[in-house]
Structure 1
Amino acid sequence: MNSLKKNAVFVTFCFSLLAMNAQYEMKPVEGYSPQIGLMVYMLEDLKSRITAEVKDLDQAQTDFVFDKDANSIGSLLMHLVSTEAYFQIETLEERQWSDEEKARFGIGAGLNEESKEKLKGKPIQHYLDLWEEVREKTLAGLKTKDDAWFASNVDEDMNYHWAWYHVMEHSANHMGQIALVKNRLDK
């Protein structure tokens, strides 16, 4: 009987692993062409993971900078918003930022002294709301495109797929920086 229980536990464990691994599949998001749907999956996964890490930060944590060369979590989030807004307008709308868009999103483009000074005093939800606004527009725009567009060139040296890969990779890179800043927060 003891052997039977061990086998039952082992079989249950194996099925649990199979079920758990099924959660870690990349599948194109419905409503998009296959390649764009995979990119949307990755963009949304990274955004949800970053959001989960920062959504409960207070003002001091949002603005915290651990040394003069570091960036706050608020400024890093604004940088992600700015990057996505730039590529969204450049690739999906095929135009440059308007003066209003540049004023609204441009401050996050360069992580520099000016952005460090101006990106203070706003709650974490401010940045998350901006990101959600930009993302909704990105998702709507990507729904109107297909994989042939995705593989075509923005210019001589870059296709649309690479442009959106860069937005995704940018999020992953700065997710690591956000984790570093969180790790340095005063306990």
Structure 2
Amino acid sequence: MTEQQITERRHFLKASGLLGVGLLMPNINLACSPKTNMDGNIHEFGKREGYTDQVSILVSMMDWMRATVLRSVKGISQKELDFLLDKDSNSIGAMLLHLAATERFYQIDTFTGIPKSSLNFNVDDDEWDAASNLGDKGRATFKKKPLNYYLDKLEEVREYSLNELKQRDDNWLMESTPFFGNQPTNNYCKWFHVVEHESNHNGQIKLIKSRVV
């Protein structure tokens, strides 16, 4: 290949590359251009009124997963709420309050300066303990309670979380303490665990519903 051919090839490749970038950039810009506010549609993760940018993303995930759980239990019967697959399993009702207890745990852990006593939500410590640990104590405690009992606690705990998250910013999300495996764990990871924890138990809830006899 002559020097002139090499030069012409370089020019061609450069022009082709620029053309490719030019074709892609409008789509990239569209994808990266955030709406000023995405309130009202849980399927669009993004800016939420009253929250900083990254806290908005976290709240988006929390809202979406909670809506999914609520769809799974909408209109279920008392029998479904209390049903046990076997002697060692947990009921749907117990798991619902377990979700509230887990979120409360992360409130206590990450919302520093707030006394634990102010986060009881009219539930005594023994009941929170049963909800956190489940097992025999959970099976003995969570039965014959109506669906609204669990939904009201989920809503009450979540409302507190959302109000507190409005008081915090993206820097707070990145603050770390030794946690999972005694490794540095930031608040973003801890609160994402609240989301994925609900996803995990939502799968169990749907399985139990399908097995009620």
Cα RMSD for the two superposed structures: 2.1
Q: How far does residue 90 in structure 1 lie from its aligned partner after superposition?
A: 1.7
Q: Establish whether residue 174 from structure 1 lines up as the match of residue 189 from structure 2.
A: no
Q: How far does residue 23 in structure 1 lie from its aligned partner after superposition?
A: 7.8
* Aligned residues between the structures: 165
- Structure scoring higher RCO (CA < 8 A, sep ≥ 6) equals 1
Confirm or deny: 8 A CA contact 1:90 1:96 kept in the other structure. Answer: no
TM-score, structure 2 as length reference? 0.71
Confirm or deny: 8 A CA contact 1:27 1:37 kept in the other structure. Answer: yes
Matches within 5 A, 1:32-43: 32-43=51-62
Partner Cα separation in structure 2 for residue 77 and residue 23 of structure 1:
21
Please list the CA deviations of residues 14-51 of structure 1 after superposition, one character each: whole Å capped at 9, or x if unmatched: xxxxxxxx984322322111111111111111111111
Q: Choose 70-79 or 151-160, whichever is displaced more.
A: 151-160
Please list the CA deviations of residues 99-145 of structure 1 after superposition, one character each: whole Å capped at 9, or x if unmatched: 98334522210121111111111011100000000000000000000
Partner Cα separation in structure 2 for residue 68 and residue 74 of structure 1:
16
Partner of 1:46, secondary structure, is: helix
- Give the number of the structure whose alpha-carbon radius of gyration is greater: 2
1:4 maps to which residue?
Answer: none
1:50 maps to which residue?
Answer: 69
1:8 maps to which residue?
Answer: none
Matches within 5 A, 1:115-154: 115-154=138-177
Q: Establish whether residue 83 from structure 1 lines up as the match of residue 110 from structure 2.
A: no
- Compared with structure 1, are the counterparts of its residues 104 and 140 closer, same or farther at alpha carbon in structure 2 (3 Å cutoff)? farther
Which amino acid letter does the alignment assign opposite residue 145 of structure 2? K
Deviating beyond 4 angstroms after TM superposition, the runs of 4 or more aligned structure 1 residues are none
Q: Choose 89-98 or 57-66, whichever is displaced more.
A: 89-98
Q: Which structure 1 segments of 5+ residues have no match? A: 1-21
Partner Cα separation in structure 2 for residue 65 and residue 104 of structure 1:
19
Q: Which structure 2 segments of 5+ residues have no match? A: 1-40
Confirm or deny: 8 A CA contact 2:127 2:141 kept in the other structure. Answer: no
Confirm or deny: 8 A CA contact 1:55 1:125 kept in the other structure. Answer: no
TM-score, structure 1 as length reference? 0.81
Confirm or deny: 8 A CA contact 2:81 2:91 kept in the other structure. Answer: yes
Identity across the alignment (%): 36
Partner Cα separation in structure 1 for residue 131 and residue 143 of structure 2:
12
- Compared with structure 1, are the counterparts of its residues 23 and 108 closer, same or farther at alpha carbon in structure 2 (3 Å cutoff)? closer
